[in-house]
Structure 1
Amino acid sequence: MCSLLTIALIEANAQNSILENRYSFDTKKVSLYDALNIVSQKTGYFFIYDSRILENERRVKLEARGEKLESIIKGLLNNPKLDLRVLSKHILIYEKKETTATPKSEQNRHDSTIIISIKGTVYDNQTRKALQYVSVAIEGTSSGTITNGEGFFILKLPQSNEQLNIRISHIGYKPYTLPVMLVRDQKIDIYLKPDIVSLQEVVIRRVDPTEIITSTIKNLKTNYSPIPFYLTTFYREGVLKNSTYLSYAEAILKIYKPTINQFLGTEQVKEIKSRKIINADQTDTLLMKLKGGVSACLSLDIAKNIPDFLELSEVDKYRYTLSDIISYESHNAYAIGFVQKESIEEPLFTGTIYIDTDSLAILGADFEINPSFISKASDYLISQNRRTHIVKPERFAYSLTYRKIGNHYFTNHAKCDIQLKVRKKGRFFSNNYTAFLEMATCDVDTKNVIKFDKQETIRPQVVFLDIPYNYDPDFWGDFNYIVPEEKINEALKRINSKIGKVE
């Protein structure tokens, strides 16, 4: 007991001592953001903070001669309300609280029924633009979430996991790991560093991208789960006419996934909770219903539901090019572009697939129906119940990523974006319809997995409950979910106000 306490104290003192170390800087006026980056590069410690409490663009002088690091940082911040906390290789800049929370007992600290949350926004370190669909996972577990279209996330986890780390990763970027204990119940900004390796800078054996594709297909059974498993997912879909939302739906789903050897149709879906809103002002317009819904997202598991660009019998229809070697989760990956050959005139896919250089596992893909031939795909992409309108497909695009848990890869995020032009016969002007389907994996369970009772399941094409939609952060309880973007929230508020007037 004494030795454990001694080790803990030594570790804490060692971490806090970085603030006592002395450094010298002589830098002309730069932004506060750049100044903190310079300090980070020299010390090897990473800063974590909420940009709302700092003025990132404020010009500061970084000048010091043998001063303590704590004094240097606080001089840059120039705000007595801000303080510093050190853990591992991270320095948290946070706002001091007016009151001090009562310390939790040791029993409460490990209570799995208490849920804590971490909020944050993920940015590109160079451009400072928000990054969409970044994986935010709890190391050592199968739980996690993703950032939304504005780079924002909320991660919920049991307090018993506060000793673990959060791992933030995205294709083409260096992964970022930080302790839960440091940022629990905080709002933070995280900057990922691009990690794209130019082909000219990498010495590799000459590779044939077509051979990589064929080898990847042959390795599917090795890299993906040989046993059934459950996915807990957050699903959402939306339809817009021009810039006005016609409908929006969200759901927490539990999905039974069979082994990689079984057909896609054997998957089962159980609804945990859902809500949907329909724009009352748009009931007299052409209704666009999303064909497939949940099943469309499930079909994007291309390791199981093989698309033609991964079919051995169809490979000859495509031209593959090795465009880059990129980084994902500290591993190198082939970025292989594909497009149908010039002699092929049927509508096929074009895009990029990312394949681990060592295991040949599929890490993700971004692809779409070839824009040059999409008009030929109209018949099987669109089911028209009305003959009064002419519907022209403009874009059908898809993206997905996988996450490695243990020795196998599982779907992490899947998204489909649709753009159509719709014109009523006899009219000159068209309306633009857009839609999206999106599913993010929040948890994976491989233990005691059995198929659901049939009465528990829903059809993957189900239309979710018409529950009046109000943004309520507590609606999903302890489940992780994709936070609605601000533009969606504003649109849904307007729809709700109209529904209130109608009622």
Structure 2
Amino acid sequence: MKQLETYLSGKTRFLLLLLSFVFVSMESFAFQPSDIKFVEYKGEVVNARNGKPISSAYLALNNSNISTITNADGQFSLKVPEDLTDATVTVSVLGFQSKTLPLDYFKSSNTVIELEETVQELTEVSLYKATNPNLLVKEMLSKKDENYLTDQSLMTSFYRETIKKGWNNVSLSEAVVKISKSPYNSPKRDLVSLYKARKSTDYDRLDTLALKLRGGPFNTLYLDMMKYTEYVLRPEMIDSYKFEFDDPTKINDRYTYVVNFEESDKSDPWYYGKLFIDAETSTLVKADYSLNVDDRDAAAAMFVKKKPNGAKVYPTELNYQVDYAQDNGKWHYAYGKAQMDYVVNWKRKIFNSKYKINSEMVVTDYQEYVSDDWKKSADLIRPNIVMVDDVSGFYDSDFWGSNNIIEPEKSIQNAIDKIKRKIEE
């Protein structure tokens, strides 16, 4: 019982980071320039069979740590230093055969990359040896120290956070962040600094209510299930989950087990989803999961830290994704995404307000941690940060410089264009 109480306390502490409905407050952050010379390539990744765009496709520049990911429309932007003209790029995503292409295949715009769907042959399925999903998950957790980064590293990441009220974008936050990523075998927590950021919120559309998403980049960083096992897959709580095998698949041409999981105890909001485990090394390489919030009162108590009088606030849907990448035989956090839907009911209003909150972060580069010198100019942020409005970054079309970002999808680009028009008025 004590273990269960500790687990629930840890889950609650994590979830309370996520949301507060309160009036506006401010935090500050630093801006720093970047002057690296680079070449930018743009395009989209599509299904070779039907031409449909493929979201969350991972593009990695080989023999480097540079990478990016496609947006919801399958589009990408990849910035490469000028001296890496002879490089190759590997494109991979769940359910498709990976493809490696020379950099000269890419163009400054309208590059189209077609990926073939993965066809699983029976002879390939027979190569899978695991027969007990519980034991496989326990082995996955026991091999964390062996399979994941054991050296401290300094990662560069791009973070985006959007809030929609109904169909309208009401808030857009974007930032390049530096992450001091501690080893996976260390209890030491990661440090984060804002390197460059911009944010705009339309408070008129928020009905004088400021929705503050606490945590900023930490919301997606804490989705690193293998670093922060206490939030979802705490080893000593594994027996409180139900596991079963789903059909196997391939990720980046590697055979992968798919394990469905869900919590047995449903007295509180409970996790369920899929774990994608590398068949050769028993490494978690991807997870798609959700939190069941059918119990509105319990979910509101867990998620909503503050709210105005006369309002009832509760989440209706929460979905998460985390992806890992491999380098020199070691895996590390590469991408995290959280999608959260909320409803606000007001006492004296007939209609409620519905909010959709999306946050995502992709690691675009990383290097070996050499010293603490970076901290001298870094603006370290706290896990409960609330990013402040600063529209100055929307003036500059080259605001991000050489930093790789997630290409804005159509609705986000429309929001950026609208912000620019307001600035010019």
The question of a shared fold, defined as TM-score above 0.5 by the shorter chain, is answered with yes
What is the Cα deviation at residue 384 of structure 1?
Answer: 2.0
Q: Which residue of 2 aligns with 1:441?
A: 363
**AA of the residue aligned to 2:198:** R
Query: SS of the residue aligned with 2:322?
Result: strand
What is the Cα deviation at residue 377 of structure 1?
Answer: 2.2
Q: Which residue of 2 aligns with 1:285?
A: 208
Q: Which residue of 2 aligns with 1:331?
A: 254
CA distance in 2, matches of 1:381, 1:280: 22
Query: SS of the residue aligned with 2:247?
Result: strand
Q: Which residue of 1 aligns with 2:9?
A: none
Alpha-carbon spacing, 1:345–1:280, altered in 2? closer, same or farther (3 Å)? closer
Query: SS of the residue aligned with 1:140?
Result: coil
Residue by residue over 1:228-259, the C-alpha shift from the partner in whole angstroms, topping out at 9 and shown as x without a partner, is 10110011111111122221111111111111
Which of 221, 227, 232 is residue 145 of structure 2 equivalent to? 221
Q: Does 1:349 align with 2:237?
A: no
CA distance in 2, matches of 1:377, 1:332: 37
Residue by residue over 1:366-419, the C-alpha shift from the partner in whole angstroms, topping out at 9 and shown as x without a partner, is 111024446522212111231221112101111010110112111111111110
Query: SS of the residue aligned with 1:442?
Result: strand
Q: Which residue of 1 aligns with 2:307?
A: 385
Which of 366, 370, 374 is residue 292 of structure 2 equivalent to? 370
Alpha-carbon spacing, 1:141–1:499, altered in 2? closer, same or farther (3 Å)? closer
Q: Is the 8 A contact 2:263 2:270 kept in 1?
A: yes
Which of 147, 151, 154 is residue 74 of structure 2 equivalent to? 151
What is the Cα deviation at residue 361 of structure 1?
Answer: 1.1
Q: Which residue of 2 aligns with 1:407?
A: 329
Alpha-carbon spacing, 1:261–1:312, altered in 2? closer, same or farther (3 Å)? same
Q: Does 1:430 align with 2:385?
A: no
Q: Does 1:275 align with 2:203?
A: no
Q: TM-score, normalised by structure 1?
A: 0.72
What is the Cα deviation at residue 474 of structure 1?
Answer: 1.7
What is the Cα deviation at residue 496 of structure 1?
Answer: 4.4
Q: Which residue of 1 aligns with 2:391?
A: 467
Alpha-carbon spacing, 1:427–1:280, altered in 2? closer, same or farther (3 Å)? closer
Residue by residue over 1:128-160, the C-alpha shift from the partner in whole angstroms, topping out at 9 and shown as x without a partner, is 221111111111111111111111011111122
When the two chains are superposed, the root-mean-square deviation of aligned CA atoms in Å is 2.3
Q: Is the 8 A contact 1:199 1:325 kept in 2?
A: no
CA distance in 2, matches of 1:311, 1:127: 41
Q: Is the 8 A contact 1:121 1:188 kept in 2?
A: yes
Residue by residue over 1:61-83, the C-alpha shift from the partner in whole angstroms, topping out at 9 and shown as x without a partner, is xxxxxxxxxxxxxxxxxxxxxxx
Q: Which residue of 1 aligns with 2:60?
A: 137
Query: SS of the residue aligned with 2:145?
Result: helix
Query: SS of the residue aligned with 1:306?
Result: coil
Q: Which residue of 2 aligns with 1:494?
A: 418
Q: Is the 8 A contact 1:468 1:496 kept in 2?
A: no
Alpha-carbon spacing, 1:407–1:300, altered in 2? closer, same or farther (3 Å)? same
Query: SS of the residue aligned with 2:224?
Result: coil
CA distance in 2, matches of 1:393, 1:198: 41
CA distance in 2, matches of 1:199, 1:322: 16
Alpha-carbon spacing, 1:422–1:133, altered in 2? closer, same or farther (3 Å)? same
Q: Which residue of 2 aligns with 1:305?
A: 228
Give aligned-pair identity as a percent: 26
CA distance in 2, matches of 1:254, 1:239: 23
Q: Is the 8 A contact 1:268 1:451 kept in 2?
A: no
Residue by residue over 1:412-451, the C-alpha shift from the partner in whole angstroms, topping out at 9 and shown as x without a partner, is 1111111001111132311111111111111010151437
Higher-Rg structure is: 1
Query: SS of the residue aligned with 2:139?
Result: helix
CA distance in 2, matches of 1:234, 1:348: 29
What is the Cα deviation at residue 472 of structure 1?
Answer: 5.1
What is the Cα deviation at residue 490 of structure 1?
Answer: 1.4
Structure 1: any 5+ residue segments left out of the alignment?
1-111
**AA of the residue aligned to 2:315:** P
Q: Which residue of 2 aligns with 1:164?
A: 87
**AA of the residue aligned to 1:457:** D
Query: SS of the residue aligned with 1:160?
Result: coil
Alpha-carbon spacing, 1:250–1:309, altered in 2? closer, same or farther (3 Å)? closer
Structure 2: any 5+ residue segments left out of the alignment?
1-34
* Matched residues, number: 388
Q: TM-score, normalised by structure 2?
A: 0.85
Which of 151, 158, 173 is residue 96 of structure 2 equivalent to? 173
Q: Compare relative contact order (CA 8 Å, sep 6+) and give the higher one, 1 or 2.
A: 2
**AA of the residue aligned to 2:335:** H
Q: Which residue of 1 aligns with 2:166?
A: 242
What is the Cα deviation at residue 345 of structure 1?
Answer: 2.6
Q: Which residue of 2 aligns with 1:317?
A: 240
CA distance in 2, matches of 1:300, 1:374: 23
Q: Is the 8 A contact 1:347 1:374 kept in 2?
A: no
What is the Cα deviation at residue 465 of structure 1?
Answer: 5.0
Q: Which residue of 2 aligns with 1:118?
A: 41
CA distance in 2, matches of 1:433, 1:252: 25
